[in-house]
Structure 1
Amino acid sequence: MKTLTSLTVMAVVAAGAAQAGSMSEPVVETPVTPVAVEPAAPVNLGGDWTGGYVGLSFGALSIEDDSDDDDSASYGVFGGYDYDFGRFVLGGELEYQGADDLSVNGVDYDGISRAKLRAGYDAGPALVYLTGGAAHVEDTTGATLGLGMDYKITDNFTIGAEYLADKFDDVDDADGDVTSDSIAIRGAFRF
């Protein structure tokens, strides 16, 4: 019996030693502090189109009435102001487009002046727009309609293209109504 008691005591001591070695300190968890997350600012894909601009254009202009037509290279100057409402841009523009030696039925057409509104879609660095308004040639006022696109090279410089169609009623010495078509490459400084 002495052997059994000795074996029992050794087993209890061994178990206690084994358990004591595996005891680890209790883990104290620190509470997680919430982090404040600020909402991301809206992504601006090409800048704001709001502001004034002035520029130059070069292209081609053709004028015709019911019995005659002529075309010529053209040059122009323009200026305006746009307001960007997000993806919608609304603006106004004044333009003069001149041409050399443009004559239809003996009427010389030195140039066309235009006052236009334009409404467009802000596609980031590009602005695609429709335009319309009044056009003036040889003491006659008519209508102009067109479409165009401007592209930002930098925040202050754009290049673009514009097509315009004009219609004039009762131009002196013309044979019927006078219409014109023009296409121009444009460069503008924005401020």
Structure 2
Amino acid sequence: MTVKRLSLATLGAALIAAPAFAGSPTPAPVEPMIAPAPVVSTGGDWTGAYGGLSLGYADVSSSGGAALSGDDLIGGLSLGYDYDFGQFVLGAGIDYDYSDIDLGGGESMEGIGRLKLRAGYDLGQGLLYATGGLARTSLAGLGEDNGYFAGIGYEHMITDKVSVGGEVLYHAFDNFNGSGTDIETTTAAAKVNFRF
């Protein structure tokens, strides 16, 4: 009996002590998690064709011959193509702003068309650019004539296919259609472009 009790007591002690010998009492070290580096955009891809709409404001003044001035809303359409060289973007396009700006004396400006070049700096989702080129406008009484324009703008991609922005342009039409009147027009417009 004593040997059986001793064997049972030894077996019980061994079972109780077994977990202590099963492994180290200190837990194994946990390897630290390394988070992936954040993805930083160094530039968007502005290469491709686009078409867009604009809505803005125009202010017209004159010097020389006829005393003309006026301001009103303008709105228009644009088509263009950009090529992204990495940090820099070059593009060309055409646009037309419809208007009916009363300039006094029965005269009005009926719209402005543009053949434009633009060069910009790629900010990733944004494009800061300068633009300029040939402008053509029509006045109700003085006919049509060509001039030039220059300005700056900013465009921001809100999706891969849609961008929004704004543009401020200065236009000059010297000696408009031989009338001796110089016409100056400043426009500021909000734009939305659809890329395809």
TM-score bucket (shorter structure):
0.7 to 0.9
Provide the rounded CA distance (Å) in 1 between the counterparts of 2:180 and 2:150: 22
Tell me the equivalent position of 2:85: 85
Provide the rounded CA distance (Å) in 1 between the counterparts of 2:53 and 2:169: 16
- Which amino acid in structure 2 is aligned with residue 49 of structure 1? W
Q: Does 1:54 align with 2:59?
A: no
Q: 1:112-127 to 2 correspondence within 5 Å? A: 112-127=112-127
Counterpart secondary structure, 1:162: strand
Tell me the equivalent position of 2:195: 190
1:117 CA drift (Å): 0.2
Provide the rounded CA distance (Å) in 2 between the counterparts of 1:150 and 1:55: 12
Tell me the equivalent position of 1:132: 132
Q: Work out the number of aligned pairs and report it.
A: 150
Q: What's the TM-score, normalizing by structure 2?
A: 0.72
Provide the rounded CA distance (Å) in 2 between the counterparts of 1:151 and 1:169: 34
Q: Which has the larger radius of gyration?
A: 1
Q: What's the TM-score, normalizing by structure 1?
A: 0.73
Provide the rounded CA distance (Å) in 2 between the counterparts of 1:188 and 1:49: 12
Tell me the equivalent position of 1:169: 174
1:134 CA drift (Å): 0.2
Tell me the equivalent position of 2:152: 147
**Cα deviations across residues 17-49 of structure 1 (Å, max 9, x unaligned)?**
xxxxxxxxxxxxxxxxxxxxxxxxx96445200
More strand by share: 2
Provide the rounded CA distance (Å) in 1 between the counterparts of 2:168 and 2:55: 12
Identity of aligned residues (%): 41
Q: 1:10-21 to 2 correspondence within 5 Å? A: none
Tell me the equivalent position of 1:99: 99
Tell me the equivalent position of 1:157: 162
Provide the rounded CA distance (Å) in 2 between the counterparts of 1:180 and 1:84: 31
1:179 CA drift (Å): 0.5
Q: Does 1:178 align with 2:183?
A: yes
Contact 1:104 1:174 survives alignment (8 Å): no
Tell me the equivalent position of 2:36: none
Contact 2:100 2:108 survives alignment (8 Å): no
1:175 CA drift (Å): 6.0
Contact 1:80 1:91 survives alignment (8 Å): yes
Provide the rounded CA distance (Å) in 1 between the counterparts of 2:164 and 2:181: 36
CA 1:101–1:181 in structure 2 vs 1: closer, same or farther (change >3 Å)? closer
**Cα deviations across residues 62-112 of structure 1 (Å, max 9, x unaligned)?**
111123310001101001000000000000010001112433543321100
Gaps (5+ residues) in structure 2?
A: 1-38, 139-143
Counterpart secondary structure, 1:110: strand
Provide the rounded CA distance (Å) in 2 between the counterparts of 1:104 and 1:65: 11
Provide the rounded CA distance (Å) in 1 between the counterparts of 2:185 and 2:48: 30
Structure 1 vs Structure 2 CA RMSD? 1.8
Gaps (5+ residues) in structure 1?
A: 1-41
- Runs of 4+, deviation exceeding 4 Å: 172-175
